[in-house]
Amino acid sequence: MGCASSLPDRTQGPGLLNNSDSSGALDPKNLKVKLVLLGDSGVGKSCIVLRFVRGQFDPSSKVTVGASFLSQTIALQDSTTVKFEIWDTAGQERYAALAPLYYRGAAIAVVVYDITNPDSFNKAQYWVKELQKHGSPDIVMALVGNKADLHEKREIQVQEGIDYAEKNGMFFIETSAKTADNINQLFEEIAKRLPRPSTSS
């Protein structure tokens, strides 16, 4: 992961948000990062976020319109805290053209697919390519295979996800928003991979 390298100029740090709250932006112990979720409609982006932020899972489908904004702070073992400012984008096709509005300046992109749906895996690859072209150059990317609880309906093998993620320098994990499996791990692992604005070394 190239992004582990230290960043000499932290104002260049991808999306380390210092726009709305300039006071704490440079505090290396309290990070604030912009995270965007991308992926086909129905793969479970909103469910992942709501599980992470509110610990809930609501099986009734609520198609996202435009994008929703949520935030959640986690504490890492080294006593730093990371505040995620999350853009949960709409996967519906009509919003695809507007995605840059939401991923612009994001430090982290979480690209989600549904392990039971090959189309959604193709769509995930589309988003990865788009982010490589137009996202922040230092963006941390994660590939997430969601709905891992539906293993009897699995269409995308774990290895396919691992291989694609590896090729593209992404972090990979399979999750289930329904059972909460790996949801917190996803965000913790991302947080660990974040470039730190200043290392005390």
Ligand X SMILES: Nc1nc2c(ncn2[C@@H]2O[C@H](COP(=O)(O)OP(=O)(O)OP(=O)(O)O)[C@@H](O)[C@H]2O)c(=O)[nH]1
15 binds ligand X (CB under 6 A): no
Decide if residue 184 touches Mg ion (CB under 5 A): no
- 171 with 190: CB under 8 angstroms? yes
| Residue closest to 131 by CA, chosen among 105, 113, 161, 163 | 105
Judge residue 10's burial from the number of C-beta atoms within 10 Å of its C-beta, 0-12 exposed, 13-18 middle, 19 or more buried. middle
The yes or no reply on residue 120 touching Mg ion (CB under 5 A) is no
> Nearest distance from residue 45's CB to Mg ion, in Å?
5
Q: Considering only residues 67-106, where is the footprint of ligand X by CB under 6 A?
A: 90-92
Does residue 82 contact residue 106 with C-beta atoms inside 8 Å?
Answer: no
Binding residues for ligand X restricted to 29-48, rule: CB under 6 A: 39, 41-47
Instruction: Find the shortest distance in angstroms from Cβ 181 to ligand X.
Output: 8
d(Cα 96, Cα 77) in Å, to the nearest integer? Answer: 37
Q: Tell me the number of residues near ligand X by CB under 6 A.
A: 23
Contact partner, 68, from Mg ion, another protein, ligand X, none, Cβ < 5-8 Å per class: another protein
Do residues 117 and 148 make contact, with C-beta atoms less than 8 angstroms apart?
no
Q: How far is the CB of 90 from another protein (least distance, A)?
A: 8
119 binds another protein (CB under 8 A): no
- Mark the segment that binds Mg ion (CB under 5 A) among 49-57, 58-66, 108-116, 132-140: 58-66
Between the two ends of the chain, the Cα-to-Cα distance in Å is 20
Is residue 185 near ligand X by the rule CB under 6 A?
no
